[in-house]
Amino acid sequence: MSYHHKMSRRLPPLTALRAFEAAARHESLSRAAEELAVTHGAVSRQVQELEAWAGLPLFERPGRRLVLTPIGRDYRDQVTAALNSIESASDVLRRAAARQRLTISTLPTFAMRWLLPRLGHFQQAQPHLEVRLTTSDRPLHLTDGHFDVAIRRGPEAWPGFRAAAFLSEFETPVCNPRLLDARPISTPADLVTHNLLEAETRPGSWNRWLEEAGVRNLPTMRRQSFDHYYVCLQAACDGLGVALASPQLIRDELESGRLVAPLPETPVLSRPYCWIVPERQRNDGAARAFCNWLQEQAAESAP
């Protein structure tokens, strides 16, 4: 016969028990009410309900003071210990649930164009994990740090974190094909006739590319800046000028013909994408699984 069939628990009203424990610990109805976020009268009624259930007083009330009876003091000690035990077990339970949630902080354009199209495969492989994705262009030291894994371009000095590059990025000029028809680009020097589009989140990218491509001593080129990289790419699709992009991030636009790469033989290596894990998460299995998955996906998507 099971334990459940042998007996049923004869427990006092649990709300009343919680009110008694707080009042007994503070020896004050007012402070108990403040802790439990209820009224003084509610705590008083709950204590009286427990005394009625027990059939004896747990407090003496000389004047306005609240004083435990000897049996009330013993009961308080045992109830406090029991509630502490329940609280401790519940903390473990909540931490176990929290470990099943994986929070990723990633760059917006990278999320939209590389990570999200692949993320379903990770979730299928790890169905016990709830993946929460947040996007931010902010440097790590300016974030709130509430993530298990971050993805940023680097490498940089990230004290307090473990990090590794997982995806190299080669950038090449891209533009709307109609723009190319109007002003052809056969060599990097032909860019002098075009509006160069750049993002504030990728400072100096055109200067680095032009330097690597050997374009020097040209007249000052027209520039147009946008706050986010994905806006810069959209501007290129809309024919506002020439942007720098990695073919890995604009594969759909290249295949559909919305963008063309007029100088495919001049890709310039840019800063790679890195996964970054707080030191406190270094032994976290979920974070490790995600970083390993990033490495595998990057290897598969390499041009």
Helix (H) or strand (E) holding 95: helix 70-99
pLDDT band at residue 68 under the 50/70/90 scheme: very high
* pLDDT tens string 188-242: 888 888 999 999 888 888 888 888 888 776 666 788 899 889 899 999 999 999 9
Query: With respect to CATH, is domain 108-303 assigned 3.40.190.290?
Result: yes
92 has a pLDDT exceeding 90:
no
pLDDT (0 to 100) of residue 192? 86
Q: What's the CATH number for 3-98?
A: 1.10.10.10
Token reading at 18:
């919680």
The closest alpha carbon to 129, from 277, 288, 269, belongs to 288
Question: Looking at residue 139, what DSSP letter applies?
Answer: -
Instruction: Calculate mean pLDDT across residues 38-52.
Output: 92
For residue 207, the one-letter residue type is: N
For residue 201, the one-letter residue type is: T
CATH 3.40.190.290 placement within the chain: 108-303
pLDDT (0 to 100) of residue 82? 92
For residue 84, the one-letter residue type is: N
* Sheet strands (E) in 232-287: 243-245, 268-278
CATH 1.10.10.10 placement within the chain: 3-98
* pLDDT tens string 239-255: 999 999 988 888 889 99
Helix (H) or strand (E) holding 173: strand 161-174
How many percent of the chain have pLDDT more than 70?
Answer: 93
What is the distance in angstroms between the CA of the first residue and the CA of the last residue of the chain? 66
- Rounded CA-CA distance 47/152 in Å is 56
Average pLDDT taken over every residue of the chain: 86
b/e sequence 282-295, b meaning 16+ C-beta within 10 Å: eebebbeebbebbe
Token reading at 36:
């439990």
pLDDT (0 to 100) of residue 99? 57
